[in-house]
Amino acid sequence: MPERKKTREVRRIIDKLKTGYGKTPEDASREELYQASAACIRDEIMELWVQANHKIEAEGRKILYYMSAEFLMGRAFVNNMVNLGILDKYRTAFDYFGLELSEIAAQEKDAGLGNGGLGRLAACFLDSLATLKLPAVGCGIRYEYGLFRQKIVDGEQVELEDNWLEDGCVWEIEHPDEAVEIHFGGEVEENWTAQGLQAVHKNYSTVLAVPYDMPVVGYASDMPVTLRLWSARAVKRFDMEYFNRGDYLHAMEEKELAEVISKVLYPEDNHEQGKQLRLKQFYFFTSATMQYMVRRHKELYGDLHTLPDYAVVQINDTHPTLAIPELMRILLDQEGFHWDEAYDIVSRMFHYTNHTIMNEALERWNEQMFKMLLPRIYSIVQALNEQYCRRLYQYYPGDMERISRMAIVAYGEIRMANLCVAVAEKVNGVSQLHGDILKKRLFADTYRIHPEKLLAITNGITHRRWLAVSNPGLTALLTETLGDGFLKDYTQFEKLMDHVDQEAFLEKFAAVKRQNKKRLAEYVYRTQGIVIHEDSLFDVQAKRLHEYKRQLMKCLHILCLYDEIKAHPDKNFQPVTIFFAAKASPGYIRAKNIIRLINAVADLVNNDVDTKDFLTVVFIENYGVSSAEFLIPAADISEQLSTAGLEASGTSNMKFMMNGAVTIGTMDGANVEISQRVGTENIFIFGADETEIERMKAYQTYLPGELYEKNQSVRRAVGHLIDGILPVASPHQFSDLYQSLLFGKFGTPDPYFVLYDLPDYIRIFEKALAKYTEKPLDWYQTAAINTAKSGYFSSDRTILEYNDQIWHLTPVE
C-alpha cells in the first residue's frame, strides 16, 4: 500500500468537515466529503473574486451584462479545479480518503437551468469571459427547479422534477441586502407637472428579487466572472394579520403567489407559448438587472449620462428584451430624464443575439395580457413603437405593409424581435449561414436601411469543459504532443496538423477513443443496466428532440439497415451502436412519440437474432451537461441532420468535432463552417442545401408521395411505422408520424424533407461506414484532423469577436 500523505488539501478538507459538519473523515458521508472539499475550493475562489471585483471598480472598468433567461452550467466541481490548476492536488487528497475523484464529483447536482443550445452557450461564454479576463456579469433567473429529469418508462418519456437545490448549492452566495422590488399589475396615471408629462404607477403588487451570486472561474485566470441569478420572494414572508385572525391558508397565500415566479424553468425549446407566468419571469429578472445596473453605476460614478461608457448589455435571444423599456422607465420615472435623453442612452447600450428564424419560436405577447401585467412598460413600448414607425415612414414612405410587418406592436401583439431590432445597436446571428438568412429574410427590411446593424458571429464552446474536463485522455495526448498552451490559446490546436500523418500518433488517438468508449459503456451499464459492444462503431445523435433536427430520419435509416441485414442473414456486417439522447418538451406530442419510436426500434433490432450482433440502439436517459460529458468523447460519428436553413448554428457539432468524432451532416448552421475548415474529405455532407429547400418550398415542387412510390427501401422503412413489426401495444401508435410524412396535417406533407434527404443519407452513411471498417488509419486521421481544426470553434474566439465588434471591453490585467 502506497504511503498516503497528509497534504495541505487533506488538512483543509478535514478541517472543513469538522467546522462545517461536525464530522471526522471516518464518519463523513460522500456527500459531506463533496460539500467540504467544494467549500475548500470555494475559499480559494473567494480570494480571487474579491480582488478582481475591487480592481474592476477601482479602475472604473466598463462591464458587460450578459442577460439570459437560461444558464445551463452543469456541475462546477471538476471544472473549477481544472481552471484553477488544482485538480491533481485534490485527486491526491481524495486518494488519502480512499475515494475516486469521480465518486466525489458525482455527488454534485447539475445546475440545469437551461433547455439546450442557447442556455449552454451562455455558460460557455462565461467561461471564456473569465479566461480572457473581460469584466462581465451573467444575469438570469435562479429557477428552483431546472429542466425536468427524464425517465424512460415502457419506451415513453416521463418527466420528474429537478430539485437541484435539494442539498444546497455550495457555490452560490445570497445577497439579501441587494434585493430590489419588482412591480406588477396596477394602473398608470399621467399628470402634467413642471417637468412635463409624468407617469405614476399605482396599485401595483410587489415581489422582491433577491440576488444569488456564483463565481465562474476562468482557466489560468485570476478574474472570476459573476453569475448573478435572481430569486423571487414575497415582501411579507408571512401575513401576521391573517394569521392572527385564524386564516392560516391566506397567511401563506401571498408568499406562494410571489415565489412561484422563479419556481421552474419552462421546458419549451424553439417554441413559444405566450404564458403569463413566463412573461412575469422575464420582467422579473430584467427589471431586477436594470435596477442593479443603474444603482451600481450611480454608486460608482454618480451621473447616469455616462452609463453607456461603463456598461453594455447583450440580450441572449429576445427573452430579456424587457430590459429595454425597463431602463427607459427607470430613467424617465425615477431619474427624471426627458424621453429623448433617455432614448439616447438606451439606444447605445443594447445588442441582441438571434437564435432562430422559425416562426413558432419568435416571442410575441398578447397586447391585453401585457398591458394588464405591465401597464407602465406597455405605455413605454407603445411610445417606442410610435417613434419607430414614424422613423420607418421616412425610409419607406407610404409602404404601410412593410411598416406594419416591422412594427413592434401590431394585430394585438407585441413582437419582441422587432423591439430588439428597433432599439439594439447590433443584431447578430450565430453562424455565417444564419447571419446571411437574417439579412436575406427575417430582418431584410432592416438590413436595407441599416446594413451595419446586422452581423454574424459563429458560436463556440469552451474547450476547457468540453475537452479538459470531459476528455482527460485526449487532453493528456494533446498536452504530450503539443504542450498545454492550447488550453489558453485556441489557435494552438492547429499544431496537431503536424502529427496527423504519423501512424504512431494516430494509434494513440485511436486508443484514447477506445478508452472513452469503454467509459461510456460502463456509464450506460451503471445508469441503465444496458450492455453495449465497446468495439462497435459509436454513432451519436444527442440534442433536443425536435422535428427539424430529424431524429425521425435516423429512425427510418435504422429500419433500412434492419431490412438490409434481415435480407442477408449469412452476411457479416460492421457492428454499429446507435445512441440517441434527447429530451422532448412535455407538451410536444409528436416529439414524444418520436422518443416512443426510437425505443420501439431499439426493442426490435436489439432483440432480433439476425440483427442484434450488428445493430444496437440505445436511448440515453436524461440528456444533460453531465451525460454529454460521457457521451461526446466516445463518439465516432456525430449526427447533425437538421433540415438545411433551420438549425441556426448547432453547438454539439463543435463538441463532437473537438473530441475526434466525424460529422455526418447537412449544409446547415455551423456544419458549413466545420466543412470549410476540415475540408470536404473529412466530413460527410449530404442532402439538400438551404437554397434547394427554399426553392422546393417556394414552388411547392416536393412531393413525398412520389418519392415513396419510387424508392423501395424508403417505402419499406416508412411502411414499418404502421405494418405491425414494431413491438408496441397499439398498431396505431406511429400512424401520426406516417401521416405527417406522406400527407401532412394542413396539406404540407413532410415539412422537414425527411424522405427527400433519406436516400442521400443512406448513401453517405454507407460511405462513412466503409471508411471506418476498411481504412481505420484513414478514419483516425480524419478524426484527428477534426480535433486539429476545432480550435476555431472555441468560445474564446467567439467572445473575442463579440468584443471586437460589439462590446469593446479591455481585459483586466
Residue 121 binds to ligand 26Q (criterion: CB under 6 A): yes
Rule CB under 6 A: choose which of 65, 184, 266, 466 binds ligand 26Q. 266
Region near ligand 26Q per CB under 6 A, out of 249-257, 261-269, 328-336, 343-351: 261-269
The site map against ligand 26Q for 362-381 (x = CB under 6 A) is -x------------------
# chain residues binding ligand 26Q, by CB under 6 A:
25
488 flagged as catalytic: no
Distances (CA, A) of 227 to 37, 85, 136, 299, 508: 21, 21, 9, 21, 39
Residue 645 binds to ligand 26Q (criterion: CB under 6 A): no
Rule CB under 6 A: choose which of 110, 162, 272, 629 binds ligand 26Q. 272
Residue 316 binds to ligand 26Q (criterion: CB under 6 A): no
- The catalytic residue among 42, 120, 544, 789 is 544
275 flagged as catalytic: no
Region near ligand 26Q per CB under 6 A, out of 116-124, 139-147, 437-445, 487-495: 116-124
* Helix-strand-coil split of the chain, %, nearest 5: 55, 15, 30
CB count, 10 Å around CB of 205? 13
In the complex, minimum distance from the CB of residue 562 to ligand 26Q, in angstroms, rounded to a whole number = 30
**Long-range Cβ contacts of 403-411 (<8 Å, 24+ apart):** 405/445, 406/445, 406/446, 408/381, 408/384, 409/367, 409/381, 409/382, 409/385
Q: What is the phi-psi region of residue 100: left when phi exceeds 0, alpha when psi lies from -120 to 50, beta otherwise?
A: beta
655 flagged as catalytic: yes
Distance CA 672, CA 670 (A): 5
| Burial classification of residue 19, based on how many CB atoms lie within 10 Å of its CB (0-12 exposed, 13-18 middle, 19 or more buried) | exposed
Residue 115 binds to ligand 26Q (criterion: CB under 6 A): yes
Residue 644 binds to ligand 26Q (criterion: CB under 6 A): no
- The catalytic residue among 353, 475, 577, 651 is 651
The site map against ligand 26Q for 692-721 (x = CB under 6 A) is ------------------------------
Region near ligand 26Q per CB under 6 A, out of 158-166, 354-362, 447-455, 671-679: 354-362
| Burial classification of residue 463, based on how many CB atoms lie within 10 Å of its CB (0-12 exposed, 13-18 middle, 19 or more buried) | buried
Q: What is the phi-psi region of residue 41: left when phi exceeds 0, alpha when psi lies from -120 to 50, beta otherwise?
A: alpha
Residue 112 binds to ligand 26Q (criterion: CB under 6 A): no
Which phi and psi (to 5°) does residue 638 adopt? Answer: -110, 120
Residue 650 binds to ligand 26Q (criterion: CB under 6 A): yes
Rule CB under 6 A: choose which of 649, 663, 666, 781 binds ligand 26Q. 649
Residue 414 binds to ligand 26Q (criterion: CB under 6 A): no
In the bound state with ligand 26Q, the residue whose beta carbon lies nearer, of 115 and 314, is 115
Residue 322 binds to ligand 26Q (criterion: CB under 6 A): no
Rule CB under 6 A: choose which of 290, 437, 648, 788 binds ligand 26Q. 648
Residue 668 binds to ligand 26Q (criterion: CB under 6 A): no
Selection from 755, 731, 771 nearest residue 637 by Cα: 771
Residue 655 binds to ligand 26Q (criterion: CB under 6 A): no
In the bound state with ligand 26Q, the residue whose beta carbon lies nearer, of 275 and 448, is 275
In the bound state with ligand 26Q, the residue whose beta carbon lies nearer, of 117 and 138, is 117
Residue 798 binds to ligand 26Q (criterion: CB under 6 A): no
- The catalytic residue among 543, 554, 557, 592 is 543
549 flagged as catalytic: yes
Distance CA 334, CA 64 (A): 23
In the bound state with ligand 26Q, the residue whose beta carbon lies nearer, of 433 and 469, is 433
Helix (H, G, I), strand (E, B) or coil at 581: strand
Rule CB under 6 A: choose which of 178, 268, 425, 692 binds ligand 26Q. 268
Helix (H, G, I), strand (E, B) or coil at 489: coil
Strand partners, 225: 216
Selection from 288, 82, 264, 263 nearest residue 180 by Cα: 288
**Long-range Cβ contacts of 39-43 (<8 Å, 24+ apart):** 39/170, 40/9, 40/12, 40/13, 40/16, 41/77, 41/80, 41/81, 41/84, 41/86, 41/90, 42/170, 42/171, 42/215, 43/12
Rule CB under 6 A: choose which of 73, 217, 322, 361 binds ligand 26Q. 361
Selection from 66, 40, 50 nearest residue 134 by Cα: 66
Distance CA 731, CA 744 (A): 20
Enumerate the active-site residues.
Answer: 355, 543-544, 549, 651, 655
Residues that bind ligand 26Q (CB under 6 A): 115-118, 121, 266, 268-270, 272-273, 278, 319, 355-356, 361, 363, 430, 459, 647-651, 669
